[in-house]
Amino acid sequence: QSQELSQARVDYHAALLALQEQGTRMICSGKMHTDRICRFDYLCYCTEAEEFVFFHSNASVMLPNLGPRRFQPALLDLSSVEDHNTQYFNFMELPAAALKFMPKPVFVPDVTLILNRFNPDNLMHIFHDDILPIFYTMSQYSDFDNEVRLVFMEGWGEGPHFDLYRLLSSKQPLLKEQLRNFGKLLCFTKSYVGLSKMTTWYQYGFVQPQGAKANILVSGNEIRQFAAFIMGKLNITREESPENNEYLVVFSRSINRLILNEAELILALAQEFQMKAITVSLEEHSLAEIIRVISRASVLVSMHGAQLITSLFLPRGAAVVELFPYAVNPDHYTPYKTLASLPGMDLQYVAWKNTIEENSVAFPDRPWEQGGIAHLEVEEQERILKSTEVPRHLCCRNPEWLFRIYQDTKVDIPSLLEVMRQTLKSKPNPKKVRPTSAVHPGRVREPKCQTSVQATNEAKMTVSWQIPWNLKYLKVRDVKYEVWIQEQGENTYMPYILPHQNYTFSENIKPFTTYLVWVRCIFNKNLLGPFADVLILVT
Ligand code: UDP
């Protein structure tokens, strides 16, 4: 029985003794509640009170020991969404002596990862907020292996894609509501609480309008390794398909936000790219089938929507074409553009929006969560109907946004083909793309400087250096050097890009003046190295 926590594996008396004598021990990483993950021995959970419990004894450890700051606002974020006030984690405290008066603890022997899923009804949220962060949180700690027990505390049911969560571990993930089946007091022998936010690239607009995160820390490499892991679990191989077997995929939605002329669109796209065209939808295909098809596709075309998260399974060199309904500005909703544009993701991206109102079908009478606006004041309804663009807004219930995003669209084919021709630099071709190198130059070595005064108003400065140490092991197409020259005390500097390892500057160099000179190496135009130690010289 997967629901049983095999108590046979726990030496119950030893565990109880350890809990009573040692109490709970917690050591966390991270300075702030937003970047904290905590590791616990003997963290307990009271299913009646729905509270985690920290038992104090002489041997307890609580690091960080924040005192009441633990509640300002919380110890940590339980989901990967930053500082969301419905996703906070904390625990109550009790002396270990209180155990005598409490229900007998049931021990969870597995190494457990405790977290909140953010929105397990939505495929984009499932991948971006949950599965990717869980995958890399597990990679971070050596305690985790394929036997990890995942515990989801957000309180939702399994959701439509629970099988995806099952891929992360051989053990059945537990939902909050199931915990009470095990007993009144559950004690996790060894657990981690919280999720790494390192792999997320999008913020949903709780504090400022939605958009790419300010400081993205993930690259295409990590996304692809995650994709390979998921595909491996689904027995999908990215085997070389024979030549001339290229195809494009139209990912359609069948319930709402429809493409009204899908057949016509598919014909036009097949014609344009000279490729076979395949349609998939979550209503007609399993996610595993869809991932298999997308993992070998050259182009993925879809309305804006959660299904586009599957572009993380596209091969390098493929193109993502995202369609937006009337009055929705593509620049304001960029989760899939940001994904496609991650460094090393090597996907091309095109956004198209419907600018022809007559090609749009709206649903003012639907319930508000499907974009209905009938519940609004008449003037507000009229304003929305007249507006040609949804103004920037915060998450999540802006009626004008919902109204517009749930429109159906007849895609104007000439204008779509036009933006695709303009934007796609080359014909999307997964077979021809090589991964771009991400190796950065080291510091230039032995930077030197010589000066000479030519006349009272004329001076020269010769700067030279040696190549970075790692360059001799690399084949780099384009090696350049950047030199910054700053007159001491000024707050501007003169930058130069140079092809060789030395240069004599004479323009703008004044005699009897102190200069600061920085030198760094640049590979392939945008891979910047560090500056060498500053040179200080007097002409
Ligand atoms: N969905 C779907 N077909 C549809 C409409 C929605 O499969 O016709 C899925 C969608 O992929 C997502 C979930 O239902 O996983 C919720 O869709 P919603 O429109 O709320 O979110 P969005 O796609 O805008 O992120």
pLDDT above 70: percentage of residues in the chain:
98
- Evaluate: CB of 8 within 6 angstroms of ligand 1: no
Query: Is 259 close to ligand 1, i.e. is its CB under 6 Å away?
Result: no
Which atom of ligand 1 is nearest the CA belonging to 122? Answer: 15
DSSP code at position 327: T
pLDDT tier at 242 (50, 70, 90 boundaries)? low
How much distance in Å is there from the Cα of 307 to the middle of ligand 1? 7
More confident residue, 439 or 244: 439
Both tokens assigned to 70? 């633990």
Determine the Cα angle at 303 with ends 297 and 305, to 5°.
95
Dump pLDDT digits (tens) for 39-92.
Answer: 999 999 999 999 999 999 999 999 999 999 999 999 999 999 999 999 999 999
The pLDDT of 305-331, averaged and rounded, is: 98
For ligand 1, atom 13, which residue shows the shortest CA distance?
122
Res 355 pLDDT > 70: yes
**Token pair for 332:** 């304001």
For the segment 181-219, what is each residue's pLDDT rounded down to a tens digit?
Answer: 999 999 999 999 999 999 999 999 999 999 999 999 999
Helix pair 262-273, 413-423: axis angle to 10 deg = 30
Q: Any idea what DSSP says for residue 309?
A: G
Q: What is the pLDDT of residues 457-477, one digit of tens each?
A: 889 999 999 999 999 999 999
Identify the burial level of 137 via C-beta atoms within 10 angstroms of its C-beta, where 0-12 means exposed, 13-18 middle and 19 or more buried.
buried
5 pLDDT above the threshold of 90: no
- Residue 1 pLDDT level (bands cut at 50, 70, 90): very low
**What would the two tokens of residue 248 be?**
């494009």
Show Cβ contacts of residue 61 under 8 Å, excluding neighbours closer than 6 positions: 25, 26, 27
Structure tokens at 506: 């004479």
Q: Over the stretch 161-185, which tens digit does the pLDDT of each residue have?
A: 999 999 999 999 999 999 999 999 9
Asked if ipTM goes beyond 0.95, one says yes
Residue 253 beta carbon below 6 angstroms from any ligand 1 atom = yes
With bands split at pLDDT 50, 70 and 90, how would you rate the model's confidence at 425? confident
**Which residue in 71, 79, 62, 153 sits closest to 112, CA to CA?**
153
User: By the 8 A CB rule, do 374 and 364 touch?
Assistant: yes
What confidence tier does 456 reach under pLDDT thresholds 50, 70, 90?
Answer: confident
Q: Can you give the length of the chain in residues?
A: 539
Q: What per-residue confidence (pLDDT) applies to 9?
A: 67
The residue-averaged pLDDT of 4-32 equals 89
Query: Residue 182's pLDDT is what?
Result: 96
Q: Hey, how many other C-beta atoms are within 10 angstroms of the C-beta on 215? A: 5
102 three-state secondary structure = coil
Output the residue whose Cα is nearest ligand 1's atom 25.
306
Q: Is the CB of residue 160 less than 8 Å from the CB of residue 121? A: yes
The mean per-residue pLDDT over the stretch 227-237 comes to 97
pLDDT in tens, 488-504: 999 999 999 999 999 99
- Residues 386-412, mean pLDDT to the nearest whole number: 97
How many Cβ atoms are within 10 Å of 183's Cβ, its own excluded?
A: 17
Residue 35 binned pLDDT confidence (cut-offs 50, 70, 90): very high
* pLDDT (mean) for 223-243: 89
- Give the pLDDT of residue 255: 97
The pLDDT mean for the chain works out to: 95
> Residue 210: CB within 6 Å of ligand 1?
no
Q: Confirm if 303 and 325 have CB atoms less than 8 A apart.
A: yes
464, 517 contact by CB (below 8 A): no
Q: Is 256 in the pocket of ligand 1 (CB under 6 A)?
A: yes
pLDDT band at residue 241, thresholds of 50, 70 and 90?
A: low
Query: At 269, which amino acid appears?
Result: L
Q: What is the pLDDT of residue 2?
A: 45
CA distance 292 to 314: 10
Does residue 319 contact residue 294 with C-beta atoms inside 8 Å? no
**Which of 117, 204, 282, 402 maximizes ligand 1 atoms within 8 Å of its Cβ, making it the mutation to test the pocket?**
282
Closest CA to 531 of 521, 500, 523: 521
Please tell me the distance from the alpha carbon of residue 228 to that of residue 238, in angstroms, as a whole number.
Answer: 9
pLDDT average, residue stretch 100-112: 97
| Residue 3 pLDDT exceeds 60 | no
**pLDDT-based confidence at 426, cuts 50/70/90?**
confident
> Which residue, 351, 267, 271, 288, is CA-closest to 279?
267
Establish whether the linkage from the previous residue to 95 is cis, with ω within 30° of 0.
no
Ligand 1 pocket residue status of 282, Cβ below 6 Å:
yes
> In the 8-state DSSP scheme, what is residue 167?
T
**Which of 255, 368, 395, 407 for mutating ligand 1's site (highest number of atoms within 8 Å of CB)?**
255
What is the percent of the chain with per-residue pLDDT over 90, rounded to a whole number? 92
Which is it for strands 51-56 and 37-46: parallel, antiparallel or unpaired? antiparallel
SS3 for 411-469 is CCHHHHHHHHHHHCCCCCCHHHCCCCCCCCCCCCEEEEEEEEEEECCEEEEEEEEECCH
Q: Are 376 and 399 in contact (CB under 8 A)?
A: yes
Strand 535-538 and strand 247-251: the pairing is unpaired
